[in-house]
Amino acid sequence: MLRRLLPLLLLALPAGCAFSYRPPIQQGNALPLRTLARVHRGMTEAQVVYLLGTPVLPDPPHPHRWLYVYYNKAGQGERPVIRRLTIVFRHGHAVKILGVHGAAAARQEKAAKGE
């Protein structure tokens, strides 16, 4: 009897691992599109910190370049949400912003809501 059950148990063991729980993973600063829609050139460093928080990645060779990264994977089978934003400051004001922000972020948020 044991000889018949052993192969069945060995076949069932990997199948049980496929349905294991995988918790959601979120890393970095939360960068919702509604918040990114408010980011624009000319903002002061204090305004950016108030809106987005302190930058996640320090850039020692370029202290006036702030890097924001957001990664969120809701669960198994879901596509991760990855957002990157780089803000370059000169004399305390944002002069260059790379990534989705401003009007483009507002359009993406409306599209996601189906408006």
Instruction: State the average pLDDT over residues 42-55.
Output: 94
Which residues, including other chains, have CB under 8 Å from residue 85's CB and lie 6 or more apart?
Answer: 31, 36, 39, 52, 67, 68, 69, 97, 98, 99, 100, 101
Contact between 96 and 32 (Cβ < 8 Å): no
Protein fold of 24-113: Beta-lactamase Inhibitory Protein; Chain:B, domain 1 (3.30.1450)
Tens-digit pLDDT profile for residues 65-115: 999 988 888 777 778 888 888 999 999 999 999 887 767 777 776 776 665
Distance (Å, whole) CA 92 – CA 78: 39
Structure tokens at 88: 């370059």
Tens-digit pLDDT profile for residues 33-45: 888 889 999 999 9
pLDDT of residue 24 exceeding 70: yes
Q: How confident is the model at residue 49 (pLDDT cuts 50, 70, 90)?
A: very high
Distance (Å, whole) CA 40 – CA 52: 12
| Structure-token match 């260059």, residue found | 96
Most confident of 21-25, 26-30, 67-71, 75-79: 67-71
